[in-house]
A and B are shown apart, each in its own frame.
Chain A
Amino acid sequence: MRKFSPSEEVDFVIVGSGAAGGVLAKELSTAGFRVVVLEQGPYLHEGDFQHNELRTVFQNALIIDWKRQPTTFRKTEQEKAHLQPALMYGRMVGGGTVHFTANYWRFHEIDFIERSKRGPVAGADLADWPITYADLEPYYTKVEWEIGVSGQAGVSPFDPPRSKPYPMPPLPIKSTGALLERAALKLGWHPFPAPIAILSKNYRDRAGCVHCGYCEGYGCEMGAKSSTLASVIPEAERTGRCEIRPESYAHEIRTDAAGRATGVAYFDAKKRENFQKARAVIVSANGAETPRLLLLSKSSQFPQGLANSSGLVGRHLMFNSGSEVNAQFEHPLNEYKSQVVTRVLHDFYELDPKLGFCGGGGLDMRFDQMPIGFALDGAPRDVPRWGAEFKAHIQRNFTRTAYVFCHATSLPVPTNSISLDPDVKDEWGLPALRVTYKDHPDDLKTCEYLVARAMELLDATPALRKWSWPVREQQFGVHLLGSCRMGNDPKTSVINSDHRTHDVPNLFLCDGSSLVTSGRGQPTMTIQALAFRAADRIVHLAKRGELGTPARPSRS
């Protein structure tokens, strides 16, 4: 891997190596630019990933550690936030794509134009995207072929148009998929094989999935999961023009007198401060850390934080809402084997406005637990938590339990936000992430509606018993979306459709923060399609000489 000195001015410094940062690193270095990627987490490799639940899940091996990087939470802006894990993200080279479940459906056409189609929604700032599904379609296809997505086109009648089939067939069906498919067909619904960013067969130089089962929440020890760590980052490094610099925690984007970004200040593994000079800066630090970095970068020139003349940096945070219904079956499902989801339903993606709420969702069926997690929290409420009856429950039900997961809309609420906590600091002395979040009432109604559909679905299976958990306001986010939204108007958005900030001409943002709407869950596919498109736009601008980068980058 090429190494650059921080004092050497590279073409691009990218903050974050996850879903978007990894793609941008590969695309820009392949186009001939010199790129440094600053990643706050460690550089783990396939050999570092273990089939060990205690170490991986309960030790938070792959995600942020709230002891070092605390977060605070409050429901409304009137409250004082209290210390609480309020969100999580992958903290390593590859980011959240290393541990994700890899559900890769595309957003539908409605997601880009819902405001025009539905009109305003009280209490939300619903807006159309400045781009449409058609603009993004070639890049969805690019994601499928570049990183490796398994699936089957043409089964779901709700699928938006596509220019190319999937590069490989779906992964083998599991018991939850078989149960979902049969029940849904009985109900006249339209189940389809789940699009999954895991290789169902050998693809390019990577091996297909061997169904070990340590998947959601784990790193793939054989690289079959299409994380950026396994797919695009090695390609970026092979160009000889890209350095992935791990354990580099960005804390300030600096600007010159003309208001252009000059590079990024960061702490290295020993907490020493460094400054990477660059001709242009791209922030792909995720929907929480991207706005935080802009807010941390305030100066006399940018007193509200960098690129924040709109006052919207951090606002419109969306987690995606969700709910679940659980069931036990007579025969073993053995869902702990293989990857997680094999069949999906999009019949409720777009709902009749007469229902009285705005939103929609996708359903899947899964069991995403390993033994310890299941024993601690896999039982209906009437099962004791200890004793012979508890033991009989784990003995019988570990292999016979499944859940219907409902993934749904979060509407963009202006007061739901990421901001800097005024009191709490992280281990580096920087203000902690403060989350302000209260689900829009329509989001809760969407969840209630989907729970009812999930119950109907389970009624059409041979489930022995079913139970659900009450739909509640969320206090914890995994999908971090919308916090630096894209738009044409600098007063109502942070970046334009090229991902360029309205305020700083050589500063770009691309990750979950760019999304204008939340879709119905499973946002990573769309984040990566945006990243491939952003790379094209940025190369175009660079070639026009707008970024101060060489118009004809060296390919040496």
Chain B
Amino acid sequence: MEGNSFSRRGFLLQSVVGAGGAWLAAAWPGVLAAQQHAHHTMSAVAAGAPAKLEYFTPAQAADVEAIASLIIPTTDTPGAREAGVVYFIDRSLRTFAADQQKPFAEALALVDGKRKERFSGSADFASLTTAQQTEILKAIEDTPAFGTFQFATVAGFLCNPEDGGNRDMAGWKLIGFDHAPTHSPPFGYYDAEYVAEQAAARKRAKP
């Protein structure tokens, strides 16, 4: 994988060989079958029931959430943690991305190996300081494992909430994406300005 050096277009069209390699290579075969599951789970969350982990152990989930929170941290706005990214990943590994269980486990093992190497007395990744966690993530930044975490985090942060992530549309609100079923012109600043100028010009042209 060539990291950032391929073009955006190349990424979209060559998605299988693009960023997030292993994760994207999944055929996402059962994603539609998973829809009902995701709906069901999300409606439980919406009803105030606590979200449940179905794949990760609590310790694994804590590590995954710590990694996701480094990728999209909580700042003055919600991050991966508030958007429930760990629950999205947990569910997807049980359902439509089940064939990613092995690569995901390997990615976590790589992180854990680095932790033991660098911070031998530590218990797990989640209990390290943010500076220590950052050091480890930096060390694996150019590996396929990082791509796996990055894709899963971004997808969990910005997917349709019905797929189990982007809780309260935290990701969409952050980037200014209005998921309305229809829109009307003007759509943005420059076309609004253009249309206003055209109208003014027409008005001036009238005797």
Asked whether A and B interact, the reply is yes
Q: Is the CB of A210 within 8 A of B182?
A: yes
User: What 1/0 mask marks residues of chain A from 217 to 243 whose CB sits below 8 Å from any chain B CB?
Assistant: 100000000000000000000000000
A190 to B17, CA, bound (A): 39
CB contacts between A and B, total, < 8 Å: 191
Chain A, interface residues (CB within 8 Å), range:
35 or more
- Asked if A177 CB lies within 8 Å of chain B CBs, one says yes
List the A residue with the shortest CB-CB distance to B173: A395
A399 to B175, CA, bound (A): 7
List the B residue with the shortest CB-CB distance to A180: B190
User: What 1/0 mask marks residues of chain A from 446 to 474 whose CB sits below 8 Å from any chain B CB?
Assistant: 00000000000000000000000100000
A224 to B185, CA, bound (A): 17
CB proximity to B under 8 Å, residues A312-368: 322, 324, 326, 329, 331-338
A475 cross-chain contacts in B, Cβ below 8 A? 14
Q: Is the CB of A395 within 8 A of B194?
A: no
CB proximity to B under 8 Å, residues A112-141: none
Q: Is the CB of B188 within 8 A of A58?
A: no
CB < 8 Å neighbour of A386 from B6, B13, B72, B175: B72
A176 cross-chain contacts in B, Cβ below 8 A? 190
B178 cross-chain contacts in A, Cβ below 8 A? 334, 337
User: What 1/0 mask marks residues of chain B from 70 to 108 whose CB sits below 8 Å from any chain A CB?
Assistant: 111101010100000000000000001000000000000
Q: Is the CB of B183 within 8 A of A213?
A: yes
Shortest Cβ gap from B40 to chain A (Å): 17
List the A residue with the shortest CB-CB distance to B96: A59
Decide yes or no: A371 and B17 within 8 Å by CB, A178-B194, A377-B12, A469-B7 being known contacts.
no
B155 cross-chain contacts in A, Cβ below 8 A? 54, 58, 372
List the A residue with the shortest CB-CB distance to B88: A54
B126 cross-chain contacts in A, Cβ below 8 A? none
Which of A167-175, A414-422, A524-532 lies at the interface? A167-175
B189 cross-chain contacts in A, Cβ below 8 A? 175, 331-333
Chain B, interface residues (CB within 8 Å), range:
35 or more
- Asked if A84 CB lies within 8 Å of chain B CBs, one says yes
Q: Is the CB of A173 within 8 A of B194?
A: yes
- Asked if B158 CB lies within 8 Å of chain A CBs, one says yes
- Asked if A47 CB lies within 8 Å of chain B CBs, one says no
Shortest Cβ gap from B3 to chain A (Å): 8
Q: Is the CB of A337 within 8 A of B187?
A: yes
A210 to B185, CA, bound (A): 10
- Asked if B137 CB lies within 8 Å of chain A CBs, one says yes
**Residues of chain A whose beta carbon lies under 8 Å from any beta carbon of chain B:** 51-55, 57-60, 65-67, 84-85, 88, 172-179, 181-182, 210-213, 217, 322, 324, 326, 329, 331-338, 369, 371-379, 381, 385-388, 390-391, 394-395, 398-399, 403, 469, 475-476, 478
A-B interface, 4 closest residue pairs, ranked by CB to CB distance from nearest? A331-B189, A178-B194, A175-B188, A175-B190
